[in-house]
Amino acid sequence: VATIVDAHVGHDGRLAVALSGGRDSVVLLDALAQLAATRSLSLTAIHVHHGLSINANAWAQFCADLCRTRNIAFTVRKVEVPRTPGLSLEAEARRARYAALADAALQQAISHIALAHHQDDQAETVLLQLLRGAGPHGLAAMPQTRCDPRGLLWLRPLLEVARSEIDGYRAARKLTFVDDESNLDRRHLRNALRMTALPALKAISPQLAPILARAAAHQGEASLLLDELAAVDATPAFDGATLDRALLGELAPPRARNLLRWFLRQHALPAPSTARLAAMLAQLTRARPDARVKLVHAGTEIGVYHGRINVHGPPPPAYSVPWAGQALLALPHGTLAFERTLGQGVAAKRLGAAQVTVRARGGGERLQLAPGRPRRALKAILHEAGIPEWERQRLPLLFCGDELAAVPGLGVDVAYQASGTDPGFALRWGPNAAASGSPVRDRPNHSA
């Protein structure tokens, strides 16, 4: 534990530990607390309250009491676990848990989070991935350290420690912990493996856990090599957000599949099944240049625009949000900023004539951008401006009463344009990252 913490956090850094109240996380907290006492290390425990068990409140209280007696900073986060068709409750709970841990750490300016996974957990993960037919990335299982796109470094200090060693430590330190009854539910594949398959395999090979952990490390090296190959293939094809579909189609099938998996990972998307990946590759590379391609994967849409493969969020639901003069207006898929100007943007006096709302496109809107020009269909103007279809669907429209006054990134209707020294508002549109689909950089704001 000390080796991992010293190498990545340092003697005087700040570290959060995910504390469920179970045996492994309690042992990790105890070990880190002892380590912090010999250093200037600042330790914070974060408990995620899923609300899935009748004992959830008691677990949160146990963690709070444990931290209070040890004088360790404690944070609890409540989450609602969605019931998404096609996804297991276990997977959704894990996704919600990691998001809550990350948000809690970032809000406290903590950039390192410790998790209590150990060697036997790693062995279970390798077997799970084998049963799913995973490739090298999946069989690499859990890394000891991982830096996510937000700069958070996730650490697993116990990953090379066996469950038996953790049990011995807990007994020696007389640590108490809580039991999650769901860990005994054999309907969950991981539990079934832990309770039936792993004991049988260990009877054949007593060193099963370290052997599988070593195999995971080998697969981790192989996956790194595959990523390096993908990066070479991506050099002329990837611009940081989109991928040249022609260059993808020119690669040999194994390299093309590898590059497409790599591209999806750049957008934080899971790899699809082998059959699904093959179908996606065929549709993305073989479709006619004028064909409309839209593939749905893991809550996002994948399409082709001007010969480049792009990833973006689904269109937002219909909305109509009133504006009452605030500088920032929160919308379902981003934020619209109203910046005060003189002689530019939307004339402030015109906005006082009727109720001002920001709405999604409904179809049939028309706009006149300059005197002497005809009033034209907004759809045609957006198309001529070269704005991709998915971004057109997401652009917020500013209405004064029933009249379209302005579209960020496009312009202001002549009837609402500020001039001279008239007070006005410049509109700047900032889509959420999930809606924009940009994996590694912020997209520029659109203004009007």
- Output the CA–CA distances (angstroms, integers) from residue 355 to 25, 78, 95, 213, 448, in the order listed: 54, 37, 40, 63, 20
- Give the pLDDT band of residue 298 (cuts 50, 70, 90): confident
Looking at residue 352, what is its pLDDT? Answer: 83
Task: Please report, for the chain, the start and end positions of each structural domain, with discontinuous segments joined by +.
Answer: 1-206, 236-312, 320-430
pLDDT in tens, 187-234: 888 899 999 999 999 999 999 999 999 999 999 999 999 999 999 999
Residue 182 has pLDDT above 90, yes or no: no
CA dist., res. 207 & res. 204, Å (int): 9
For 306, residues 6+ apart whose C-beta sits below 8 A from its C-beta are none
Token pair for residue 251?
Answer: 């690669």
Domain topology for 1-206: Rossmann fold (3.40.50)
Instruction: Give the strand pairing for 294-297 and 300-305.
Output: antiparallel
Mean predicted confidence (pLDDT) in 280-295: 90
CA dist., res. 97 & res. 82, Å (int): 12
pLDDT in tens, 100-158: 999 999 999 999 999 999 999 999 999 999 999 999 999 999 999 999 888 999 999 99
Which ranges of 9-155 would DSSP assign to H, the alpha helix? 23-37, 56-70, 89-107, 119-131, 136-139
What angle in degrees, to the nearest 10, is found between the helix axes of 119-131 and 208-234? 60
pLDDT in tens, 305-357: 889 999 998 888 899 999 999 999 999 999 999 999 999 999 999 988 889 99
Residue 419 has pLDDT above 50, yes or no: yes
Mean predicted confidence (pLDDT) in 23-39: 96
Domain topology for 236-312: 3.30.465
pLDDT in tens, 383-410: 898 888 888 888 999 999 999 999 998 9
User: What value does the mean pLDDT of the chain take?
Assistant: 91
